[in-house]
Amino acid sequence: MLLGPVQLLSAVRRRIRLHRAMGVVFALTVYVSMAGAALYLVRTAPGDAFSGAAFWIVLTTILVGTVLSVTFGIFAAVGRFPDLHQRWMLLCYGFLMTAPLLRLEWGALPRLLPGLPMEDINRVAIMHLGSVVAFGALAASRARDRRVTVPGVAGTWAPMPVLAAAHLAGAVALAWITRSYLGWGAEGRRLLLAYLIPYAATYLVMSVRQRHAALEGRSWAREEWRLHLTALCLAPALSASAALPFEQYLGLDRQTALSAGVTIGCGMLAFAANTVVSLRVMYGRELVKRQDLAAAPRTRPAPSQLA
């Protein structure tokens, strides 16, 4: 966590050697830390985790997301995709920051919800931590990326029919999630608000930013915001669909299974959106290469001209 700001500052100030050296230390530290976390999770039954199985599932998802993010970040650096490297490492750092952010919520939420035991406070906190850190990583990426366009990237991979379908699926899933939680009394309403308020704020910011980018003619910013907005809309659908296997195969009660699905939905779809953005950039580079190869024979001098 301390190395993250060092990496960001060294990249901003273009201290390349320092950035690479500290990047190796950062990656190795992440792998070692996550190995220790994996050992804990393997030795701890889901029901024995603090505040229950939903928290165990959240920790496991964060573990997988952190390891994959730092790995994809290394691949992007080796492949000379500095913009993608930056995105993956920021997402990795966002996953890591769930730990201190959770501690901060343990200190702040008891003042807003007096009388609740820490187990319930923890359940409230994990309802939105995934969306908060994922949005923070996206906002940081967009703040660092000032490009208007990206070579080879034109149009959108999330046209209006796709975005409309994502909105419809998300609305149906949100309605089902809301109805389920409202049927579980005061605790259900508390958990629902802890999920819906950050989700609505994130949705509003993404919608406004992608529209402003479109009006200003910044096609790349519009595309990235749009892809992440589509993923955010689909997050409730993933959460709702994940509840069934959690209930069937992990033996969880319906409320715990749904809470587990809700807590991981936004984080997993943010990871998926980052993957789509990466594929978008890589496809654009490949398209430019093919266009250059196709144009190369036309620019060569004819044999008569050489003679």
pLDDT tens for the chain, 307 residues long, are: 888 888 888 887 888 899 999 999 999 999 999 999 999 999 999 999 999 999 999 999 999 999 999 999 999 999 999 999 999 999 999 999 999 999 999 999 999 999 999 999 999 999 999 889 999 999 999 999 999 999 999 999 999 999 999 999 999 999 999 999 999 999 999 999 999 999 999 999 999 999 999 999 999 999 999 999 999 999 999 999 999 999 998 899 999 999 999 999 999 999 999 999 999 999 999 999 998 888 876 655 555 554 5
For residue 103, count CB atoms less than 10 angstroms from its CB and return exposed for 0-12, middle for 13-18, buried for 19 or more: exposed
Torsion angle in degrees (nearest 10) through CA of 197, 201, 202, 207: 140
Q: Judge if pTM exceeds 0.85.
A: yes
- What whole-number distance in Å separates Cα of residue 231 and Cα of residue 146? 23
- What whole-number distance in Å separates Cα of residue 140 and Cα of residue 151? 22
Residue 106 structure tokens: 């343990």
* Spans of all domains in the chain: 44-286
Query: Left, alpha or beta for 152 (phi > 0: left; psi -120 to 50: alpha)?
Result: left
- What whole-number distance in Å separates Cα of residue 84 and Cα of residue 81? 5
Note the pLDDT of residue 303.
Answer: 54
Per-residue pLDDT reduced to its tens digit, 91-108: 999 999 999 999 999 999
Spatial contact of 297 and 91, defined as CB atoms under 8 Å apart: no
Side chain identity, residue 154: A
- What whole-number distance in Å separates Cα of residue 75 and Cα of residue 69? 10
Note the pLDDT of residue 296.
Answer: 77
- What whole-number distance in Å separates Cα of residue 219 and Cα of residue 259? 37
Helix or strand run (H / E) with residue 222 = helix 219-249
Spatial contact of 53 and 47, defined as CB atoms under 8 Å apart: yes
